[in-house]
Chain A
């Protein structure tokens, strides 16, 4: 995979991504995307650039924003990591289950463990926390502490 060529195709279409895209090492591209243009960029990367495998979605607690990194890959092994950040007081992501049905599991994890909301996901049970877990407790946030007997 020619990383520089891929980055050039991407920044030709979306010039505002030039500062936030970098080639970390061979076969790894990282890109930060503002949330307004997230879906457009994702569609371009999946369809035009060919990164059509979703490996996983990583949730990040960045202080005052919550981030989600979408790890997309191509059959020959190169990975494109797309990061999008949303403000913590209103953390809403758009679901990608219409093109990646398996993303449902990862989106449910960031809903339960980081307290994000995902628009477009159909109603379902808690995953991975148990059914009687109280609302409002998000274990993987950096400021969440646990004492025995709290939940």
Chain B
């Protein structure tokens, strides 16, 4: 009985992941591409993805921007507000490794310095096709079979 419930829940999560978008201080190019991926032209909403306004409703944290010292605590707080199981997607080179800012004062690197990341989507900015590719790969890895 419990196994059936688990199967239904996993099916719901893989077929319809809800995302929360967060920007740790990026230049906004990746944010524009993320929003473009959600609009009808590239349409990641056909995978059941909805962008929510609060991390407490979300399965996947889509994050852009390098991890700065100021954002460290705030990003961890947002991550902890998401209910388990949760996944993190780092969009753009800055979120993957710090990008051009990785040796600057005040920058701790990519967001994997603060939270565990499930998928990395490089690019400056990451194009919407790359974002869709990354999201599909993440969903395929969640699917138990």
Q: Which A residues are closer than 8 A to B by beta carbons?
A: 129-133, 139, 146, 148, 150-151
**Residue B69 CB within 8 A of the other chain:** yes
A sample of 8 more A-B contacts (CB under 8 A), given A129-B106, A130-B70, is: A130-B68, A130-B69, A131-B70, A132-B69, A133-B69, A146-B105, A148-B103, A150-B105
Chain A residues in 8 Å Cβ range of B104: 146
The minimal Cβ–Cβ distance linking B140 to chain A, given in whole angstroms, is: 37
A151 cross-chain contacts in B, Cβ below 8 A:
105-106
Nearest CB on A from B85, distance (A): 31
Interface pairs A-B: 9 shortest CB-CB: A130-B70, A130-B69, A146-B105, A139-B105, A151-B105, A148-B103, A130-B106, A129-B106, A132-B69
**Interface SS, A side:** loop
Count residues of chain B with CB under 8 A from any CB of chain A.
7
A101 to B106 Cα, complex, angstroms: 28
A148, A150, A151 — which one has the most chain B CB atoms within 10 A of its CB?
A148
Shortest Cβ gap from B72 to chain A (Å): 9
A-B contact pairs, 16 of them (CB 8 A): A129-B106, A130-B68, A130-B69, A130-B70, A130-B106, A131-B70, A132-B69, A133-B69, A139-B105, A146-B103, A146-B104, A146-B105, A148-B103, A150-B105, A151-B105, A151-B106
B-side residues, CB < 8 A to A, are 68-70, 103-106
Chain A: which residue is nearest B71 at the CB level?
A: A130
Closest B residue to A151 by beta carbon equals: B105
Contacts of B69 in A (CB 8 A): 130, 132-133
Please name the residue on chain B nearest to A130 by beta carbon: B70
Contacts of A131 in B (CB 8 A): 70
A130 surroundings in chain B (CB, below 8 A): 68-70, 106
A133 to B105, CA, bound (A): 10
Residue numbers in A under 8 Å from B105 (CB-CB)? 139, 146, 150-151
- Report the separation of the CA atoms of residues A132 and B108 in the bound assembly, to the nearest whole angstrom: 14
A148 CB contacts on chain B under 8 angstroms: 103
- The CA of A150 and the CA of B69, in the complex, are separated in Å by 13
CA distance A39 to B50 in the complex (A): 55
Closest CB in chain A relative to B100 CB, distance in Å: 15
What separation, in Å, do the CA atoms of A130 and B25 have in the docked complex? 13
Separation of A139 and B99 alpha carbons in the complex (Å): 20
Determine the chain A residues whose CB is within 8 A of the CB of B68 once the complex forms: 130
- What are the residues of chain B within 8 A of A146 when measuring CB–CB? 103-105
Question: Which residues on the A side are within 8 Å of B103 (C-beta)?
Answer: 146, 148
Report A22 CB to chain B, min CB distance, Å. 36
